[in-house]
C-alpha cells in the first residue's frame, strides 16, 4: 500500500508536468489508482464515499468565497490603467536619481501586488509598461528584467494575496488536524487574517531589500541604472502624486484595515475591495459595460479553475490517504536524523523544486495538506510555516530555468531581450529571497509578532 501511495504521487506529478489539465489530472490519477488498488485488494473504495462531503464542504466554505472576489478586484484594477498612472508619477518623482526608474518599478510592483494579488497579471503589466521605458533609458537589461520579475512576484506575499487566502484555508484545516493528532480536542484556529498580518513585515522587508539592491547597483555601476534627463522629467506636483497614489492606497487600506480592525472577515473585506475597484475604474473614466463583461469572464475562468483543482485535489488526497501515504510521509519525516529542522528543510526543498513545474494552487492543495499536519505536530507555528511556504514558492517562481515569472516576462519582452539576460537578472533577487528565508528562520518574530499584537 505504501508503495502504491508513492507511485500515485510520482505519476500525478509526471502527468502534471506533461501539461494535462490540473484538476482532471489529479482526480483522474487518483481514480485510476483507486481502481487498480481495488482490483489488487490494496484499496478500500469506502474512502471515495467521502468525496461528496468534501465537495459540499468546498461549496459551503465561506473563506473560499474571497477567491473570486479578490480575482475580480485584481482584474478590474489591471484593466483600469492604475499601474500606468502610478508608474508615470513614480518615474517623475524618482527619475532624477540614478536607479530611480528601478525603484519606481519596485514600488509600483508592491502597490499592484497589494491591489491585485495576482502574480502573472503584475509581471505582464509591469513588463508591458516599464520594460520598454527602462531599455530606452539605457538600463542594463538583466537589471531591468530582474527588477520587473521580482517586483511582480510580490503578489505572492503582500496581502491581500490569493496565495495567502488559499494557503490560509489549507493551513487552518492542517492545524486543527495536527492538534487532534496531539490529543487537543478543543483546537485553536489559524485564519487568513493571521497570514495576512504575518506576511506584512516580511513583504515590506523584501521591498526594502529590492530597493537597496537597485540603489547599490546605481551607485557602483552608474551606467547600469542611469537617471532621467532633466528636460524629460517635468514637474510633478503634490496633487498629481496624491491623485495617483491615493486610490490604490485607499483601496488596500479599506481591505486590510477592515480585517485589522475586526470589522470584516477576509471574505467581507474582499467584497469591499471588489466594489472599490469598480468605483476606482469609474472615477478614472475607464469603466465600460464591455470592460465589466471581460472582467467577469476572466474572474469566472480563474475561479472555475481554482475550484475544479480543489475538487480534483480532494479526490487525490483521499486516495493517497487510503493507500497509507500520510503515514508513510509522517514516518519518513519523523525519522530524519536532524529532527524537525531537517524535516522542515526537506519539505522546503521539495516544494521549491515542485514550484518549477506546478503552480502555487496545485502545491497548496496537493502537497501542503500532506506535510503541514506532520510539521505542525512537531511544534512549528502555523502562521510562520505558512509564510515560509509562501516565500519559498515566490523564490521558486523566480528561479531559472522554469520559474513562472520568467515565462510571463519572456512572453511580453521584446525579441532583443535574450532569455539568458532574464535569467541573469533574477539571480541577485533570488539571493535576497534566500536571505529573507534565513532571517525568518532565525527570527520567527518577524512573522509572529504582528498577528500576536493585532489578534
| Range(s) of the domain holding residue 82 | 2-454
Q: For residue 19, is it left (φ>0), alpha (ψ between -120 and 50) or beta?
A: left
The DSSP symbol for 186 reads: S
Residue 428: predicted pLDDT: 93
CB 105 within 8 A of CB 194: no
What the block records as the C-alpha cell of 274 is 471588489
Residue 301: predicted pLDDT: 86
What the block records as the C-alpha cell of 51 is 468525496
What the block records as the C-alpha cell of 20 is 494535462
Which helix (H) or strand (E) is 64 found in, with range? none
One digit per residue, pLDDT tens: the chain, 455 residues? 668 888 888 888 888 777 777 778 888 999 999 999 888 888 888 888 888 888 888 888 887 888 888 888 878 877 877 777 777 777 777 767 788 888 888 888 887 776 666 666 678 777 887 888 888 888 888 999 999 889 888 878 888 778 888 888 888 888 888 888 887 777 778 888 889 889 999 999 999 999 999 999 988 888 888 876 665 556 666 777 777 777 777 887 888 788 777 788 878 888 888 898 888 888 878 888 899 999 899 888 888 888 888 888 888 888 888 888 877 887 888 777 877 888 888 888 888 888 776 777 778 888 888 888 888 888 889 999 999 999 988 888 888 877 778 878 888 788 888 888 888 999 999 999 999 999 999 999 999 998 888 76
The packing angle between helices 82-94 and 66-79, to 10°, is 60
Rounded CA-CA distance 110/7 in Å is 41
User: Could you identify the residue written with the cell 516576462?
Assistant: 409
Number of domains in the chain: 1
Rounded CA-CA distance 79/118 in Å is 13
Instruction: Report whether the peptide linkage leading into residue 160 is cis, meaning its omega lies within 30 degrees of zero.
Output: yes
Residue 239: predicted pLDDT: 76
Considering only CA atoms, which of 47, 63, 161, 65 is closest in space to residue 112? 161
The packing angle between helices 445-454 and 419-442, to 10°, is 60
Tell whether the torsion through CA atoms of 202, 170, 21 and 72 is positive or negative: negative
Rounded CA-CA distance 139/423 in Å is 16
C-alpha dist (Å) from residue 351 to 12, 232, 394, 395: 15, 46, 11, 11
Residue 242: predicted pLDDT: 76
Rounded CA-CA distance 401/426 in Å is 11
What the block records as the C-alpha cell of 451 is 498577528
Amino acid at each position: 500500500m505504501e508503495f502504491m501511495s508513492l507511485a500515485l504521487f510520482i505519476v500525478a506529478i509526471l502527468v502534471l508536468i506533461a501539461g494535462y489539465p490540473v484538476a482532471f489530472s489529479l482526480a483522474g490519477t487518483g481514480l485510476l489508482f483507486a481502481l487498480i488498488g481495488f482490483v489488487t485488494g490494496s484499496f478500500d473504495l469506502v474512502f471515495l464515499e467521502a468525496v461528496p462531503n468534501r465537495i459540499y464542504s468546498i461549496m459551503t466554505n465561506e473563506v473560499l468565497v474571497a477567491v473570486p472576489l479578490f480575482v475580480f478586484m485584481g482584474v478590474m484594477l489591471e484593466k483600469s490603467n492604475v499601474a500606468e498612472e502610478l508608474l508615470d508619477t513614480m518615474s517623475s518623482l524618482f527619475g532624477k536619481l540614478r536607479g530611480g526608474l528601478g525603484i519606481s518599478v519596485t514600488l509600483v510592483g508592491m502597490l499592484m501586488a497589494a491591489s491585485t494579488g495576482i502574480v502573472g497579471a503584475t509581471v505582464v503589466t509591469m513588463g508591458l509598461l516599464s520594460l520598454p521605458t527602462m531599455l530606452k533609458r539605457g538600463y542594463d537589461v538583466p537589471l531591468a528584467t530582474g527588477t520587473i520579475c521580482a517586483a511582480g512576484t510580490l503578489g505572492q506575499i503582500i496581502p491581500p494575496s490569493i496565495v495567502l487566502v488559499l494557503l490560509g484555508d489549507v493551513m487552518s484545516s492542517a492545524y486543527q488536524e495536527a492538534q487532534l493528532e496531539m490529543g487537543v480536542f478543543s483546537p485553536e484556529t489559524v485564519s487568513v487574517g493571521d497570514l495576512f498580518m504575518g506576511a506584512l513585515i516580511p513583504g515590506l522587508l523584501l521591498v526594502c531589500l529590492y530597493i537597496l539592491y537597485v540603489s547599490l547597483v546605481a551607485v557602483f555601476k552608474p551606467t547600469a541604472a542611469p537617471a532621467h534627463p532633466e528636460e524629460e522629467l517635468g514637474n510633478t506636483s503634490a496633487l498629481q502624486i496624491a491623485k495617483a497614489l491615493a486610490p490604490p492606497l485607499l483601496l488596500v487600506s479599506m481591505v486590510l484595515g477592515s480585517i485589522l480592525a475586526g470589522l470584516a472577515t477576509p471574505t467581507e473585506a474582499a467584497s469591499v475591495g471588489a466594489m472599490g475597484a469598480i468605483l476606482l475604474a469609474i472615477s478614472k473614466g475607464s469603466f465600460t459595460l464591455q470592460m465589466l463583461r471581460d472582467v467577469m469572464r476572466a474572474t469566472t475562468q480563474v475561479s472555475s479553475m481554482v475550484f475544479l483543482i480543489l475538487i480534483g485535489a480532494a479526490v487525490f488526497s483521499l486516495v493517497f490517504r487510503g493507500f497509507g501515504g500520510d503515514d508513510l510521509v509522517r514516518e519518513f519525516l519523523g525519522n530524519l536524523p536532524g529532527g524537525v529542522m531537517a524535516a522542515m528543510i526537506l519539505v522546503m526543498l521539495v516544494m521549491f523544486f515542485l514550484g518549477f513545474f506546478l503552480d502555487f494552487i496545485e502545491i497548496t492543495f496537493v502537497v501542503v495538506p500532506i506535510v503541514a499536519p506532520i510539521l505542525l505536530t512537531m511544534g512549528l507555528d502555523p502562521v510562520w510555516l505558512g509564510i515560509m511556504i509562501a516565500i519559498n514558492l515566490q523564490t521558486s517562481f523566480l528561479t531559472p530555468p522554469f520559474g513562472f515569472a520568467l515565462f510571463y516576462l519572456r512572453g511580453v519582452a521584446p525579441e532583443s531581450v535574450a532569455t539568458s539576460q532574464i535569467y541573469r537578472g533574477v539571480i541577485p533577487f533570488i539571493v535576497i529571497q534566500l536571505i529573507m528565508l534565513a532571517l525568518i528562520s532565525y527570527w520567527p518574530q518577524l512573522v509572529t509578532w504582528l498577528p500576536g499584537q493585532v489578534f
